[in-house]
Chains A and B, each alone.
Chain A
Amino acid sequence: AQSVAQPEDQVNVAEGNPLTVKCTYSVSGNPYLFWYVQYPNRGLQFLLKYITGDNLVKGSYGFEAEFNKSQTSFHLKKPSALVSDSALYFCAVRALGNNNDMRFGAGTRLTVKP
């Protein structure tokens, strides 16, 4: 069965600095990896996904993520953080199977301080 780990409950960065939110996964077969963001009082919003191809995936709001097969990681990055990026970030993995459900991490709360 597939699983995801987000090792950090909380990440704090200063505005303008680069940010990284970590994610590692475990899956049988090819992984399909996703990042979602949840702003306060809002639902989960899709940020980006890795299916195949280039290991560096670019998504919404200037975010990108790098798929690293050898380290089974899919860390979310942004070169210059904004205060408005403060939110809860979830990594998720799916694998080809009968149910197509996704497995999520516990989430990482990102706080960007001015």
Chain B
Amino acid sequence: EAGVTQFPSHSVIEKGQTVTLRCDPISGHDNLYWYRRVMGKEIKFLLHFVKESKQDESGMPNNRFLAERTGGTYSTLKVQPAELEDSGVYFCASSPLGGTTDTQYFGPGTRLTVL
């Protein structure tokens, strides 16, 4: 069974540019989460999809971030325009539709560097 995959693995862009990150969850997992880790800090929740619906986007930093999950399969996270403080590692995780106790399975992350 393939795990959670993320693309690209690394992205280096200049301030003001746009970047789109992609996450492919484990097949059949209806829950999809985005997290971010800024250098040396904790991993912070960004948002949660259940299928194609945003269940909770309380962790999104501001309106420069837009997440979508059309069709309830893969998800994209767009940052437009990117700022220096957006640099970090963006993780995606997925889990089956069930209770709170289900384990979330993480992808390898996308390391974003904004210059």
Contact = CB atoms under 8 A, between A and B. Distances in A.
Interface of A: 4, 32, 34, 36, 41-46, 49, 51, 90, 92, 94-107
B103 A46 contact: yes
Given A42-B108, A102-B45, A106-B40, A51 B56 contact: no
Contacts, number: 66
B64 interface: no
Contacts of B44: 104
Given A101-B45, A104-B44, A96 B100 contact: yes
Nearest to A97: B100
Interface in B46-94: 48, 55-56, 58-59, 91, 93
Q: Interface centre among A46, A101, A106, by most B CB within 10 Å?
A: A101
Nearest to B57: A99
Given A101-B33, A101-B48, A43 B109 contact: yes
Interface string B8-51: 00000000000000000000000101010000111111001000
A97 B100 CA distance: 8
A2 to B, nearest CB: 11
Q: Interface centre among A42, A51, A96, A99, by most B CB within 10 Å?
A: A99
Contacts of A90: 43
A43 B100 contact: no
